[in-house]
Chains A and B, each alone.
Chain A
């Protein structure tokens, strides 16, 4: 957000991103930059490409054209003679370490305890010693308030607790950017609050976060910037206060009005 120092603080840069599925465009000419310490919320109607955009960032969803740069490094492709060619699985995996993802349906490793879920990446991907990884895991669990569940299996936890473990698992990799894919959409309403409050806490620690969400109130409250997507394109990208203060588009205004009525629930 320090305007004249952009080159050093840019964690994610998306340039002219495009993707189509069987001839139908899913993303078209998407440009987005996220700086270190920034929290950016992506909102918009269902099917507008929010999740696809988020999954392009760590290449779980490959894109067709444009570029995704993580800390200045091209994700998913290598440039050879001015042309983009698919990168190797090993290189893509290595670059993914700078991202952490929180999934809509938690996606915890069901055959592993909470602790084992958290140290899996640090030990087997980063090559940390078990002691160091466990230390990280305990710190992360404290952050999400689940220190007492360290030896539980995921199936024994509530949805809200599972999602907090999901956040802790991402934190244990110490990524440069956290990607949230509708982290509260699969939760019972009374469990949404505990997950949002953990995310709010991460915001307080100046983590870099890109959040796809339907919790408009939360976005208004926590995001530095709001990106509005429709039909695979970004049609607004402004500081949150401006965005909500004065919607500059009738469709956005209608969308916000609809959501204010439906979901006045979020804290």
Chain B
């Protein structure tokens, strides 16, 4: 009882420091809990990825029209037969059951609204300046975008964190309609849902409206980089299906042939199915299917694991540093409070307290902060649905921290010379 009273007294007399310590401990424990959750999720994603695609083969798909075919399609398709055929080919590819095809077309959206450098083409390579040009005295910015079909999210395991994902309706577009857009995580700091961007896409004036933000740790398999690339700095547009043949819709549909195929049926078979789908529409075009050795399933799965592992590793180091800092800060501040109470401990010793009682008061005070922080963190993690593993892990950390602080506390209090009240060293 008297120990509790003393701990409470020390807490009340150092309310500001105790509150700050509580914030620090709670915050770092919550971060640790979130790390575990994130790691679990990454692991889950990697496992699911391996389970679903470990046996699969990846192919990059690009249109392979020669110049004659290209210009005939764009300028000589008077009755729209080729356009209609291409639209049907795309639909068949998206619906194909023997493999999964997703459109993934990396192009720029040009806008005269001021954009942060990180969202501009070439930023990662140090060429963001080249993505800004002047037209009639106004700056225009080339913003990185991905135009994707529905299966893009499934193939790359990308989810929407906030807002809405693309609905079936969002893929259908008519002249004058606003195009919905999903933004990568980095956009969150600058833009909100329902924000609107005006600009040009394939030379067509378009208005984009933000409908959501993508999950952290989202990567897509890029054919140009031959690697997983984070979508955090990308705008993601739906692969638009446009009924009316216009210069814009012709160009856009052709671009929508670029993407990724995930297939178990082998290179020859997959290529054969694609050719058949094209020929069925009376077109004599070819698709390029790349199957370099690097894109073997094992390699892709390994890459995916490495990518998610790297993100988790960075976060782990950060959390570890914060945790160590939090414990050191707790010890330093607690020791200064214990030092302030040295005289009171000495008085208690004279009144019949044992060294053990006094040690329990000192350690109890530190434990009070530690366990209160732990309690808040657990409640927060429970509210966040972070899972039992996160909670068990932070209990292990708190347990370890308790042992460390207890040892430090014993050593410190032994050196405090609390029995010096009578006369000192005469």
| A is bound by B | no
Q: Give chain B's interface residues, CB within 8 Å of chain A.
A: none
